[in-house]
A and B are shown apart, each in its own frame.
Chain A
């Protein structure tokens, strides 16, 4: 074989290709370390992982292509891998050389993709991973002989290896890369003729595909039978379509199934190529994976253990993240005060302190939860447990129209929707993922707690029920349950509405259990934090400034008239109360009052609905400002004030049980959180979905709150 090391003497683009669960990400993290950047590919939700690495003093680009089982693309991420490799994808560089990552413990299926990639004639080196898992199962792959068989350099990596990156770089300089021979798998005569016909009669004259990509594209078209999933430019469409169908018929006449021929022949080749290279000791003893699976996927023990894992996970996130969140909160308050004192009083001061610093604080406060949740997720994913959890839960989740992998993101939503929405990335199927994102904010997040707490304390009587429960506790629990019911109901509706697209079969691999790679777990978790701050953070700070503007303008100038008027009416309104009431936010509250009156809300709550868009718990602070109440830990001042508020027209209490229930139902459903919308924009890569989410949740919240208000005013004794 003609090995070349020349490519590495000038800056080049190295792409990592392989099946999912092969340790590809671990290799990418080892090669690039913190010199990596994750962003979305334009227009779709697949992430582009790019980084750099230095080999012999030369800086090379490294792309971690999305994991794929085949080049015959069925999913968006596989399509990107395919299009990048054939050089027809505009948003990714065509790689100069490939690192083909292959799981040694699962050689057949991994070599299937490898044999397809080898037909593309890109210089490559093969990296065998998971050799320890393989040898546990009595499998020993002879990498030297595999290299001879395939005609490309092959190296073996071990999970216990300290310096993965050094090992790969050394191998690259020593052995270089080689261009594999095409059609090593030796397709049958009829298939080969069909490939040549498509190539010569259509692909070559009427498309702009590079020559090396044509045979593999011809195979894909033969299996596909149509031009529906073609993304390069072409002419003579009808000719192409006709040709494909004709050739399919010809193949069938000659005894080949056009859809299956390629797959069968490649697997046949793999069987022959690995014969004598893979030593398989027959071992009767059960592997660790078998033993652990007997427990973790057990019909009864499996779901129970999964709930326990979730419980430990959320308890830890809660107790670990809270001190950091308190610290961040304090830090930004202190910073605001410090900067506020430093700058001269005035507009700029207010903009920086109440707009920018408060907005930034509102972004950074999410980081502890995001990073801790992802540490758990990447850890569990790395051990192989996440696939088991999905396996155990899938039966239950498909009943409500979701996926087994929806459980962890949905449960994370109880802490905060933002890390939960980011965690939906583990759901492969786009439709399942989208539905999970769209219903996730119904999970009662911790920001709703302060609002629920104030309303319940003020208006729900503290009766005992059945001796052990209190009515307040039952209402509290009811609100959580209500969120879950809304989520399930919406999922069922969306399952019917959303375009099914091309259904992808549910074929989920259960990778062998292994000890996760720590540095990779940590790097990836911090990357998630970085993505949130840089991508969602921009939107959050911008909206914060808009909200600041609405509450600060027009400026209240106390004229002596107004001051005396205020003093005369003996209302104890502070200056900040008057400022808020006559600001654009205050006017907004008054403007929407007629619209929210049927829900039992007045303009003061209307202001709160606007300001709480920054974060739900801001509602409580806003009400405190409106009523000029000193904010306290137990909110007793506010609770007392809400109870005694009198409607000037009727002389009756302004707020009652019906208002409280209506407001809580509204808060349980409404999309009152700009940070959630910002992260939905990032994760779906379009404004379409966050806007849809906002619209449907607001309408739903309005209708449900209205029904609640009507029913409870009529039928509940107040």
Chain B
């Protein structure tokens, strides 16, 4: 599944990142095998707020679709 299907307050493990922006996404700490928690969604569904490596980051739909995750 991708992060766009993820549900708030659930923790996931990153499997891989696709797309042309993968370097940028990984530089922010979203690397394969890292764990992230979906905290909440913004009023219209996007962006979503996640906790990764101890900090909070928000992602729009396009980035969420590029991040493949699995439930832990």
Contacts and interface: CB of A to CB of B under 8 A. Distances in A.
Interface string A245-263: 0000000000000011001
Contacts of A688: none
A394 B31 contact: no
A72 to B, nearest CB: 6
B53 A394 contact: no
Contact of B46 (A264, A395, A511): A395
A108 B45 CA distance: 29
B57 interface: yes
Interface in A207-263: 223, 259-260, 263
A297 B55 contact: no
Contacts of B21: 503, 505
Contacts of B23: 72, 223, 259-260, 263
A263 B31 contact: yes
Contacts of A109: 28-29, 53, 55
B63 interface: yes
Of A300, A404, A510, the most chain B CB neighbours within 10 A belong to A510
Contacts of B25: 505, 507
Given A264-B26, A507-B63, A510-B57, A395 B49 contact: no
B36 to A, nearest CB: 12
Contact of B44 (A112, A260, A293, A396): A396
Given A297-B49, A505-B21, A264 B31 contact: yes
A141 B10 CA distance: 28
Nearest to A112: B27
A147 to B, nearest CB: 21
Given A504-B24, A506-B59, A112 B29 contact: yes
A396 B46 CA distance: 9
Nearest to A110: B55
B54 A505 contact: no
A263 B45 CA distance: 30
A510 B49 contact: yes
B57 A509 contact: yes
Interface size class of B (residues with CB under 8 A): 20 to 34
Interface in B21-62: 21-29, 31-32, 34, 39-47, 49, 53-60, 62
Contact of B47 (A74, A107, A259, A508): A508
Nearest to A223: B23
A394 B49 CA distance: 12
* Pairs A-B, 8 closest by C-beta atoms: A395-B44, A510-B56, A506-B60, A108-B53, A263-B26, A505-B21, A70-B27, A106-B55
A395 B29 contact: no
A14 B58 CA distance: 33
B58 A264 contact: no
Nearest to A391: B58
Contacts of B45: 395
A20 B25 CA distance: 16
10 contacts: A106-B55, A108-B53, A112-B27, A260-B23, A267-B31, A297-B42, A391-B58, A505-B25, A506-B58, A512-B56
B56 A509 contact: yes
A570 interface: no
Contacts of A506: 47, 58-60, 62-63
Contacts of A72: 23, 27
Nearest to B48: A391
Of B17, B26, B46, the most chain A CB neighbours within 10 A belong to B26
A362 B60 CA distance: 42
Contact of A509 (B17, B22, B55, B62): B55
A150 B68 CA distance: 33
A260 B14 CA distance: 14
B2 to A, nearest CB: 15
A105 B56 CA distance: 11
Interface string A113-150: 00000000000000000000000010100000000000
B31 to A, nearest CB: 5
A299 interface: yes
Contacts of B22: 259-260
